[in-house]
């Protein structure tokens, strides 16, 4: 048997709710899936999300990954024009949706599906005209699809970091891979007309939703995630997000706050 310390690390506290929906995980074992929403849970305390953190801004642009070292803060990324701030707020949690995918990528994926359907359905006709047409069509679809996969953000599971800046909220992996060429971020922009909703799930978990009105004034959800946010942090987290949407920079934590975690955690083993 392991030591008491090792056992306590593997133990899932009875009071810990599901990180996504808040369902009680009491007596469900060390590993499994939430019976309410199906979210996997593990038995390591080290995997738990951390409380909200206020810290210095990133060293790379959250929009394109361009290095910001040596540039005056605050400022604009010289590569893509995205603003970067002196201080940011970082939350941890689990996203409930894939909001933030750029519209042009959605259009390209939809076009690829339609193109593939047309080529397959009309294969006999294309061959009668010229066998070159379906071959060129398949090659074009494969090339564009490969480019979209290679340039798209890596699919992630489990806990993520959410960095709130005046440019928007960036979804970041909880750990940066050793072979990652740049900051693996998905930037979700918001506007000064945006609103937020922070609903209580448990004493330490909240569901955060950010809405932005479309061209017709209808509110659209652009960000939806379960976040770790104990009750004492709720007022400041709410104020920080509202200020970010209005273009006002977050401020660093006061002396009563726990020391901030590094924005770029140690590289995960390859």
Q: How many CA atoms lie within 13 A of 30 on its CB side?
A: 8
What is the reported pLDDT for 219? Answer: 87
d(CA 149, CA 155): 10
Which residues sit opposite 213 in a β-bridge? 219
The contacts of residue 22 (CB under 8 Å, 6+ apart) are 201, 202, 205, 226
Which 8-state DSSP code applies to residue 48?
S
Q: How many domains does the chain have?
A: 2
The contacts of residue 130 (CB under 8 Å, 6+ apart) are none
Please report whether residue 58 resides in a domain. yes
Which residues sit opposite 161 in a β-bridge? 92, 172
What is the reported pLDDT for 96? Answer: 78
**Do 203 and 174 share a structural domain?**
yes
Which residues sit opposite 227 in a β-bridge? 93, 206
What is the reported pLDDT for 265? Answer: 43
**Do 169 and 126 share a structural domain?**
no
Residue with the bigger pLDDT between 14 and 108: it is 108
Which residues sit opposite 170 in a β-bridge? 163, 187
Residue 17's pLDDT band, with cuts at 50, 70 and 90, is low
Which residues sit opposite 98 in a β-bridge? none
**Do 181 and 96 share a structural domain?**
yes
Please report whether residue 3 resides in a domain. no
**Do 110 and 240 share a structural domain?**
no
Radius of gyration over alpha carbons of the chain, in Å?
22
Q: Average of pLDDT values for 28-51? A: 64
**Do 182 and 92 share a structural domain?**
yes
Measuring CA to CA, which residue among 229, 102, 110 is closest to residue 168?
A: 102
Looking at every residue in the chain, the average pLDDT score rounds to 74
pLDDT exceeds 70 at position 253 = no
pLDDT exceeds 50 at position 45 = no
What is the reported pLDDT for 2? Answer: 37
What is the reported pLDDT for 50? Answer: 83
**Do 187 and 66 share a structural domain?**
yes
**Do 165 and 93 share a structural domain?**
yes
Counting residues of the chain whose pLDDT is more than 70, the rounded percentage is 66
Please report whether residue 39 resides in a domain. no
Measuring CA to CA, which residue among 84, 92, 91, 82 is closest to residue 56?
A: 84
What is the reported pLDDT for 178? Answer: 56
* Domain final residue, candidates 117, 151, 185: 151
What is the reported pLDDT for 194? Answer: 87
pLDDT in tens, 107-162: 888 888 888 888 888 877 877 888 888 888 888 888 888 877 766 655 555 788 89
**Do 77 and 196 share a structural domain?**
yes
Domain that holds residue 80: 48-100+158-245
Counting residues of the chain whose pLDDT is more than 90, the rounded percentage is 14
What is the reported pLDDT for 102? Answer: 62
């Amino acid at each position: 048997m392991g030591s008491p310390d090792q056992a306590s690390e593997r133990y899932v506290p009875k009071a810990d709710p599901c990180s996504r929906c808040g369902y009680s995980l009491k007596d469900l074992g060390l590993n499994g899936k939430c019976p309410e929403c199906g979210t996997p849970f593990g038995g390591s305390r080290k995997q738990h999300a951390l409380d909200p953190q206020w810290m210095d801004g990133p060293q790379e642009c959250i929009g394109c990954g361009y290095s910001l070292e040596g540039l005056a803060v605050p400022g604009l990324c010289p590569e893509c024009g995205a603003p970067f701030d002196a201080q940011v707020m970082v939350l941890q949690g689990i996203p409930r949706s894939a909001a933030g995918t750029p519209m042009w990528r959605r259009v390209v994926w939809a076009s690829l599906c339609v193109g593939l359907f047309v080529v397959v359905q009309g294969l006999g006709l294309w061959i009668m005209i010229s066998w070159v047409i379906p071959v060129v069509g398949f090659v074009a679809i494969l090339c564009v699809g490969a480019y979209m996969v290679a340039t798209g953000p890596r699919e992630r599971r489990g806990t993520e970091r959410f960095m709130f800046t005046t440019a928007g909220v960036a979804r970041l992996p909880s750990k940066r891979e050793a072979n990652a060429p740049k900051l693996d971020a998905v930037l979700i922009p918001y506007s000064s007309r945006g609103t937020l909703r922070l609903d209580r799930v448990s004493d330490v978990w909240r569901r955060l939703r950010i809405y932005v009105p479309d061209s017709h004034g209808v509110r659209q959800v652009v960000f939806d995630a379960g976040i770790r946010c104990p009750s004492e942090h709720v007022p400041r987290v709410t104020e920080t997000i509202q200020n970010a949407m209005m273009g006002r920079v977050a401020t660093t934590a006061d002396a009563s706050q726990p020391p901030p975690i590094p924005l770029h955690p140690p590289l995960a083993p390859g």
